[in-house]
Amino acid sequence: MNETLTKELKLPEEKHPMENILRMDRIPHIWCSTCGIGIAVTSFAIALEKAKIPLDQVCVVSGIGCSGRVAGYVKLDSFHSTHGRAIPFATGLKLGNPKLKTIVFSGDGDLFGIGGNHFIHSARRNMDMLVLCINNFIYAMTGGQCAATTPLTANTSTSPYGNYEYPFNLPHLADSCGAVYVARWTALHVRRLANSITEALNKRGFSFIEIICPCSTIYARRNRLGSGLDIMKFYHDNSVIKHGANTKDLDIGYQSKIIVGKFVDRERPTFLDCLNDWNRKKFGDKFREYGGPDD
Amino acid sequence: MKFWRKPLDSDEIEVTIGEIHIIKDRCKGCAFCVEYCPKDVLELSDEFNVKGYHPPYVKNPDQCLFCKLCETICPEFAIWVTEKPKEEKKVES
Ligand code: SF4
Ligand code: SF4
Ligand code: SF4
């Protein structure tokens, strides 16, 4: 950033402790007042610190949407990819350099509406990556269209009389496709969310964490649910922590109870493990294990 | 904070005290920090910041326990807490 611009913006003298992983020249961010995405970013930053992963090995990939902006705000190797294609982009990164820790940070519309197919196949292959999905139940940035996660009867701009399509149960989808780590938290459970992300960062294989976030500008306004603070209070009164719950029972209805917790934590060989094992079996000594560009 | 009984090890536990920093112009007045601070340290002020929101101010500075919940729950990276050096700490009666 050039000097005159910095002067005009008057960057504050004091430094927030998270400034080492945020691009401060882009803060304040574009997210609305009371939007929960910023809280998810803070939890992610805390988790990165706790997991003690060298920051030059971490890359963040986002798709399009409000949550897709995360890639632009974190001071890591980050990529803002096309709509729905964050997971294939991250797959390419991981296979190009298996030493990287790839994190996909995107929204429900991007990951499950536009890019749903990529999600199920990455989980099936157990591609080594962590998917953090901000679920605000709606396509927020594009004007509040009905998403694959919009609860039944909720009002959106494309379902003005209420939604009649059954939504996805995201943890169940991730579980049945083969994810090794599946959890769900709301934006209110900041500490549990940070612990969960730390755990998932240390896990090999396809991990998935759903983060339920308030969207005051679109979802709450269309459904007259009040401010972001009202929604946080709703989460406080209506979330039930049930670790290890059967993922089949995790549907979210309109303003219903939200079951949160860690549901799946298991081991499965990753895509690269399978590739190496199989080829070693087939070709014996002729096969050189693929571990990255340095090998 | 009210305890239903006095914790047995309360003499041995040293309570940390925090010092709160707020970048007012970065705040969007969501009041999450005010609502969820366990010690009721913060309150929204009447003043406006450059964006037209009401940033919080520190109402009870001595009560802050350095739990960092406000820092973690702030969506704007506008508030954070540092630990006060030991000699400045007051002994709670
Ligand atoms: S539109 Fe909704 S999701 Fe997007 S920034 Fe605003 S509150 Fe957040
Ligand atoms: S650190 Fe904890 S006690 Fe201190 S102001 Fe923040 S939330 Fe309140
Ligand atoms: S949580 Fe952050 S943005 Fe919200 S009122 Fe407090 S300082 Fe302002």
- pLDDT (average), residues A239-255: 95
The CATH architecture annotation of domain A31-282 reads 3-Layer(aba) Sandwich (3.40)
Tens of pLDDT, residue by residue over B65-90, are: 999 999 999 999 999 999 988 765 55
Structural domain range at position B27: 18-83
% pLDDT > 70, chain A: 94
Q: How far apart are CA A214 and CA A134, in angstroms?
A: 10
Q: How far apart are CA A45 and CA A51, in angstroms?
A: 10
**Mean pLDDT in chain A?**
92
Q: Is B32 inside any structural domain?
A: yes
Q: What is the pLDDT of residue B93?
A: 44
Instruction: List Cα–Cα distances, A39 to A7, A87, A120, B18, in angstroms.
Output: 28, 22, 27, 21
Ligand 2 pocket member B41 (CB < 6 A): yes
Query: A12 vs B23: CB contact, 8 Å cut-off?
Result: yes
Q: Which amino acid is at A189?
A: H
Question: Which ligand places an atom closest to the C-alpha of B34?
Answer: 3
Residue with CA at minimum distance from ligand 3 atom 8: B27
Q: Which residues pair with A25 in a beta bridge?
A: none
Q: How far apart are CA A43 and CA A32, in angstroms?
A: 18
Q: A210 with A67: CB under 8 angstroms?
A: no
Q: Which CATH number belongs to the domain containing residue B34 in this structure?
A: 3.30.70.20
Give SS3 for B32: helix
On the question of pLDDT at A101 being above 50, the answer is: yes
CA A9 – ligand 2 centroid, Å: 29
CA atoms within 13 A on the CB side of A231: 27
The residue assigned the tokens 């993922």 is A247
Q: Is B7 inside any structural domain?
A: no
Q: What is the pLDDT of residue A292?
A: 64
Give SS3 for A208: strand
Confidence of residue B9 (pLDDT cuts 50, 70, 90): confident
Confidence of residue A81 (pLDDT cuts 50, 70, 90): very high
Confidence of residue A73 (pLDDT cuts 50, 70, 90): very high
- pLDDT (average), residues A68-88: 95
Q: Is B90 inside any structural domain?
A: no
Confidence of residue B13 (pLDDT cuts 50, 70, 90): confident
CA A160 – ligand 1 centroid, Å: 19
Confidence of residue A140 (pLDDT cuts 50, 70, 90): very high
Neighbours of A139 (CB within 10 A): 28
Q: Is B47 inside any structural domain?
A: yes
**Tally of structural domains, chain B:** 1
Q: Is B5 inside any structural domain?
A: no
Instruction: List Cα–Cα distances, B73 to A36, A147, B37, B48, in angstroms.
Output: 9, 27, 10, 21
DSSP assigned state of A174: H
Tens of pLDDT, residue by residue over A179-226, are: 999 999 999 999 999 999 999 999 999 999 999 999 999 999 999 999
Q: Where are the domains of chain A?
A: 31-282
B35, B51, B53 ranked by CB distance to A229: nearest: B35
Q: What residue of A is the nearest CA neighbor of B33?
A: A229
Query: A18 vs B31: CB contact, 8 Å cut-off?
Result: no
ipTM of predicted complex: 0.86
Q: How far apart are CA A111 and CA A118, in angstroms?
A: 8
Mutation pick for ligand 2 pocket among B32, B68, B74, B79 (CB with most ligand atoms within 8 Å) = B68
A22, A27, A39 ranked by CB distance to B73: nearest: A39
